[in-house]
Chains A and B, each alone.
Chain A
Amino acid sequence: MLAATKQLDTKAFAEFVSGVGDSVAGFWPEIVLGITLCAVLLYDLVLSRERSKNTAYMAFGGTLLSLALVFMLPSEPRSLFSGMLALDSFSTFFKAVILIGTLVTVALTQLDKENIGARLGEYYGILLAAVLGMMLMASSTNMIMIYLAVELASLSSYVIVAHRRQSRIGSEASLKYAIYGSVASALMLYGISLLFGMTGSLSVMGLADLGIRMATDVGFGIAVGLVLAGLAYKMAAFPMHFWVPDVYQGAPTAVTAFLSVASKTAAFAILLRFMASLDPGSATGIKMADGGLFLDWTSILAVAAAVTMTLGNLAALFQTNIKRMLGYSSIAHAGYILMGVAALEVSDYAGFKAVAFYLLVYLFTNLGAFAVVIVVSNQVKSEEIEAYKGLGTRMWLPALLLTIFLFSLIGMPPTAGFTGKFLLFRAAIDKGLYWLAIMGGINTAVSVYYYMRILKFMYLEDSAEKTPYPAPCLLGKVLTVGLALPVLLLFFLGAAAGWTKNLSLLG
């Protein structure tokens, strides 16, 4: 009897080992990133603290290799590591978006070097740890994995925000980020533990039946609501958006740029996977037993989207610091993207694909805007919007490129922001959320004011000084122009939306 059990165990163990071996084939991008992370930290610790430029090359090279491996991943969807991670076109797309964002962030850091200061080896090590967490976020299908990935990304982000230790606002920003972040993760974790109690499993796939079976259960609603609240923190969506302006202002600009795109992208990836497995098409949600109150997830997400974009846009109107203003604008954009999540499954998952496309567009647009902020503050030594007066003549190239990025943030043709917003609005309208599309339209109109105010300062107002600033350095030129090109190209190449057309989820 004992021998039989033992034999069975050996067989199961052998299967487990070969499963791990198979899984590794789909896990190379993360492995390469992990090795690069260790190499950067060791190099910095053992070999040199002075040759910090080498760690930048190492981080850049490792990320580039990881990105190349992402494109070479096998295309058929499958599950890795006994259902912990999914390898599907959806996770591959989001990993690529996050890694492109990382490449740009490494370059932005070099551009912003004098502001970020010494200890660049530590900086890149922690940055890559955050990226690793975000890549795992994009592919987790188990709630243990979701929690660990979110925490890896969060803890690294807290540290990297405080990288300028001598800066008063830097450590205050990190403190606010860390303390509210730990509450957000505790909320999410409590939601996960309640869901575990209801399904007896921590797999996200297991939620599908539960969503239908427990549709009327208030406890189920609370559990899912808690998980969504935890994710909302990373997406910068209402009601967990309050940390954004302080952290965006206090962090080094390159870190702000990184958080505004990569962290948001990874959180939306989890949200999409989570909501898709709840199957919103079957109208699950909180229903009271007497049928009086019916709150489906679509309406909850739609209300969150409307409130998020309105709050972000109204607060952005009154900002004087450009990083703070872009922070509020990032909250508003989380609202627009949530519109697509609310209309997730409409007409063959059009909402889902619109969200993916918008995140790609937002990546280039927002990184570009922050790149210009760095280029300008290197010369002007200020991040106040007032300092942009007369920039149109004094720094013509960055001013022109900033115009393109701001147009894309507004959603004006001929920029990709227009295409992205068009897809999101169309998904909401197809879903029948007319009121939400109208709210989105009004909000876009409001946002024109504060984006255009910068243009007004740059082109219509004169500063006392007229002499042009010296041209930005080569890296600055290459980066800003290189980010502006996709913003324009993604509009003109209508087929670009085809990239997100074939995305599918494992499950």
Chain B
Amino acid sequence: MDVLDRPEGFLMVAAVLFVIGVVGFILRRNLIVLFMCVELMLNAVNLTLMAVARYVGASMEGQIMVFLVMAVAAAETAVGLAVVIAIYRKRATVDVDDMTVMNG
């Protein structure tokens, strides 16, 4: 039970989740998977906020922020997936390496 009384464990798990998200985003090529990696990063943020909010006392700011992050993340994914669909209809691919009409 000792572990649950201190925030370090939660923060470590969150940090690991966040790094997995970042690494996944860099390594994977499928657009849908990229959005999943971003979700992973946002969930790491939520875990950090919840863990911290539990230990900083009476303020509800942390918990409120988690709800806002979830809502905004849903909106962000909706916009992102809408664009992915628009592209898939035209090119029948969701691979990042094919997104090269304009050369970077």
**Chains A and B are bound partners:** yes
- Residues on A close to B: CB < 8 A? 144, 147-148, 151, 155, 158-159, 162, 165, 168-169, 171-176, 178-179, 182-183, 185-187, 189-190, 192-194, 196-197, 200-202, 242, 245-246, 249-250, 324
Q: Which chain B residues lie closer than 8 Å to A189 at the CB level?
A: 42, 45, 69
User: Can you list 5 pairs linking A and B with CB atoms under 8 Å apart?
Assistant: A186-B42, A186-B45, A189-B45, A245-B102, A245-B104
Residues of A within 8 A of B101 (CB): 168-169, 172
The answer to the question of B75 belonging to the interface, with a C-beta cut-off of 8 Å to chain A, is yes
Instruction: Name the contact of A200 in the complex, choosing from B57, B64, B72, B75 (C-beta under 8 A).
Output: B57
- Supposing A174-B83, A175-B87 touch, asked if A193 and B102 sit within 8 A by C-beta, the answer is no
Would B64 and A144 count as touching, CB distance under 8 A? yes
Min CB distance B13 to A, Å, is 13
Q: Give the residue name and chain of the B residue nearest to A199 (CB).
A: B56
CA distance A156 to B99 in the complex (A): 22
Is A175's CB under 8 angstroms from B84's CB? yes
Asked if A193 meets B38 with Cβ closer than 8 Å, knowing A155-B76, A171-B90, A172-B101, the reply is no
Chain A: CB-nearest residue to B49: A193
**Complex contact B104–A242 (CB within 8 A):** yes
User: Can you name the residue of chain B whose Cβ is closest to the Cβ of A156?
Assistant: B79
Distance between B9 CB and nearest chain A CB, rounded to angstroms:
14
Chain A residues in 8 Å Cβ range of B22: 183
Q: Interface residue tally of chain B, by bracket?
A: 35 or more
* Residue from the list A175, A197, A202 in contact with B83, Cβ < 8 A: A175
- The main secondary structure of chain B at its interface with chain A is helix
Distance A197 CA – B62 CA, assembled complex (angstroms): 9
Pair B42/A155 contact, Cβ less than 8 Å: no
B49 near A155: Cβ-Cβ < 8 Å: no
B21-65, CB < 8 A from A: 21-22, 25, 31, 34-35, 38, 41-42, 44-45, 48-49, 51-53, 56-57, 59, 61-62, 64-65
Total cross-chain contacts (CB, 8 A): 114
Q: Is the CB of B38 within 8 A of A183?
A: yes
Q: Contacting B34 at CB < 8 Å: which of A155, A171, A179, A242?
A: A179
Given the known interface contacts A158-B79, A179-B31, A196-B52, the answer about A190 and B99 at a Cβ–Cβ threshold of 8 Å is no
Residues of B within 8 A of A (CB): 7, 11, 18, 21-22, 25, 31, 34-35, 38, 41-42, 44-45, 48-49, 51-53, 56-57, 59, 61-62, 64-65, 68-69, 72, 75-76, 79-80, 83-84, 86-87, 90, 99, 101-102, 104
3 nearest A-B pairs in the assembled complex, by CB-CB distance: A200-B56, A186-B41, A197-B52
Name the residue on B nearest A190 (C-beta): B45
Contacts A186-B21, A193-B49 given: A173-B41 contact, CB under 8 Å?
no
Interface centre among B21, B48, B83 (most CB of A within 10 A): B83
* Max chain B Cβ within 10 angstroms of own Cβ: one of A158, A168, A196: A196
A182 touches B76 (CB 8 A): yes
Q: A477 to chain B: closest CB distance in Å?
A: 32
Q: Distance in Å from the Cβ of B30 to the closest Cβ of chain A? A: 12
- B45, B72, B87: the one contacting A151 at CB < 8 Å is B72
Q: Is the CB of B75 within 8 A of A175?
A: no
A339-B73 Cα distance, complex, nearest whole Å: 33
| Residues in B whose Cβ lies below 8 Å from that of A162 | 83, 86
Q: With A and B bound together, what is the CA distance between A324 and B103 in angstroms?
A: 11
Q: Which residue of A lies closest to B25 (CB)?
A: A183
Q: Evaluate contact between A171 and B42: CB separation under 8 angstroms.
A: no
Smallest CB separation, B12 vs chain A (Å): 13
Instruction: Knowing A147-B68, A171-B90, A193-B45 are in contact, say whether A178-B83 is a contact too (CB < 8 A).
Output: yes
On whether A183 and B41 interact (CB within 8 A), knowing A176-B99, A178-B80, A200-B57, the answer reads yes
Would A171 and B87 be within 8 Å (CB), given that A179-B31, A189-B42 are in contact? Answer: yes
